Amino acid sequence: MKRRTLVKAAGLAAAAPVVATKAFAQNATEKVRKINLYTWPQAALPQAYQASQLIAQQWRQLGLDVDVKPLQRQAQTQTIWYSRDKWDATMWRMVGRPERSDPDEFLYSLFHSSSVEKGYDFVGYVNPEYDKLAEQQRTILDREKRRAVVFKMQEIIDRDQPYAFLVHPKYPLAFSKSVFKESTVVNQSGIGIRNIWTFVNIEPLGAQKDLIINSSESLNACNPLYIGGAVDSWITDLIWDRLMRIGPDGVPQPWAAESVTQVDDTTVEVKLRAGMSWHDGKPVTVDDVIFSFSAPAGDKAPMYKPFVADIASMEKTGDMTLRFKLKQVNAIFFTASLSKINLIPKHIWEPVLKDLEGKPENAEQLKEVNRIGSGPFKMVRWKPSEEVVLDRFGDHFKAPKIDRWIMRIVPNAEATLGMLKRGELNFLGFFGGDPEVLVKFAKENPEIVLVSEVDVGFEFVAFNNRRAPFNDPAFRRALSMTIDRRLMVSAAWQDFAVPANSHVSPVLSYWHDPAVDTMKTGLAEGKKILQQGGYRVIGGKLYYPAGQQEKLTTE
């Protein structure tokens, strides 16, 4: 038998193993090495943990040796975010945030090559064709034309599979209507009831003036120049203001700005709201605003740098006014920049950033940062792994009706329900258990109002595109196609999710390309792609295409 014929035969399914010849057995480096799949511990995120186990089982049927490695949140962040060339694959999630109601942050930041080294493109995906479209969609004011480009971008990601998208979760959240006036709780599209509009508007009915919310994971960082996880974003939203906010309808509206005016295609005028102050009592000025948008422009705040990249200049035009001049037409400036950048006090942060000059560290790595903002809440206590306490900032133009916002860290789902029943919690911000248990609990406790919403964000497996074998799109696609999304939805997320294969949620129906939802999945599909790519199964183990070897690395 010719070598080429043998290779073809060896690429058949593992269910029909091929006996390896001596020639193949001698070339051990052609075997695909063990894959390490990182995940969160079961207690922290049980759905993702369960999904990782199911995925590993499916990948093993391709002939892969897969080791599932749970890591605590901070250890995982250090391994994945800051050691970008030293891991294979990891469970990850992009949570829904209001400013993501326009898909640009997902479209541009996740996969544009400018974010590879330090930004959101932590998987190292590089595609010049995609880069061009990501830049182009930002400059198209015609919605239909921009939509066509956004669809094309989703098709490219579907083809290349830098991630294996899993699900768009449908998070069940709840609150006690015996404590809070039900009509004052705001359900934001693609976000749910856990949002800033709820937290500033929710009205206590009696003597209990504190909103007590739970989280299954601790606050990772409280830093206006870095978001290290979902909980970080909850709290950052409340402490630091922005010029605009995304309203409950998904449309940006003035917030710290009294008005925002599009003068022409590349000029935006902002009038700052009068009377604002920082939590330390000093006034919020136009100079603070200019500094807030200048700070990420260098290399010390890489997470936020993409959102100020199109600003050519900023000019103070009056005591309360400033003008942004853009480098080009920017269709998403209100949403992705004015509604994204946190306003930070210049008198506090200017010396901090100056001290970082010439050092390898950036603002993301600062352990102790000043948490003075101008938002509707101010931090008064943070006990890691226990609680975070925010006080109402009475001088805010949208001062909350509650006295305190208290987040308790409760990893156990059953304990969460017990605390909710006893009144130790009155707002369910996250539930990691079986959603049906929560549904039953709400039926048995009529004072509990349950609300669920499909999330703008998504859960996924991140492939390290820098490392073999994940630098091969065919290999990534095969592994992605092997994952049964229906099983992910039913077994891991207990049907409180919808299948995903795009970085644009179906919640954003105008921007979501339904064509990518037709990807066939299953073991047979994954094996087919590997076979077409020349991969071989020998003795039940997966080998590279003939002649291809990997330089062995260690993690």
pLDDT of the residue at 553: 52
DSSP 212: E
Residue 28's pLDDT is 45
Res 197 pLDDT > 90: yes
Q: Residue 135: enclosing H or E segment and its boundaries?
A: helix 128-137
Q: Which of 188-197, 372-381, 456-465 has the lowest mean pLDDT?
A: 188-197
Tell me how far apart the alpha carbons of residues 533 and 512 are, in angstroms, rounded to a whole number.
30
Domains of the chain in sequence order: 3-168+456-543 (3.10.105), 172-239+371-452 (3.40.190.10), 244-353 (3.90.76.10)
pLDDT per residue as tens digits for the range 231-260: 899 999 999 999 999 999 888 999 999 999
- Enumerate residues 6+ apart whose C-beta is below 8 A from 189: 101, 248, 249, 250, 453, 507
Give the model confidence (pLDDT) of 63-114 as tens digits: 999 999 999 888 888 899 999 999 999 999 998 888 888 999 899 999 999 9
Which of residues 311 and 43 earns the better pLDDT score? 311
Q: What is the pLDDT, as a whole number, of residue 548?
A: 85
Q: How far apart are CA 375 and CA 388, in angstroms?
A: 16
Find the mean pLDDT for residues 25-41. 79
Q: Give the per-residue pLDDT at 552.
A: 58
pLDDT higher than threshold 50 for residue 15? no
The answer, yes or no, to whether residue 129 has pLDDT greater than 80, is yes
> How far, in Å, CA of 383 to CA of 401, rounded?
24
The H or E element containing residue 53 is helix 46-60
DSSP states of 473-491: HHHHHHHHHHS-HHHIIII
Please give the single-letter amino acid code of residue 441: F
pLDDT band at 413 (very low <50, low <70, confident <90, very high): confident
Is the pLDDT at 458 greater than 70? The verdict is yes
pTM of the model: 0.78
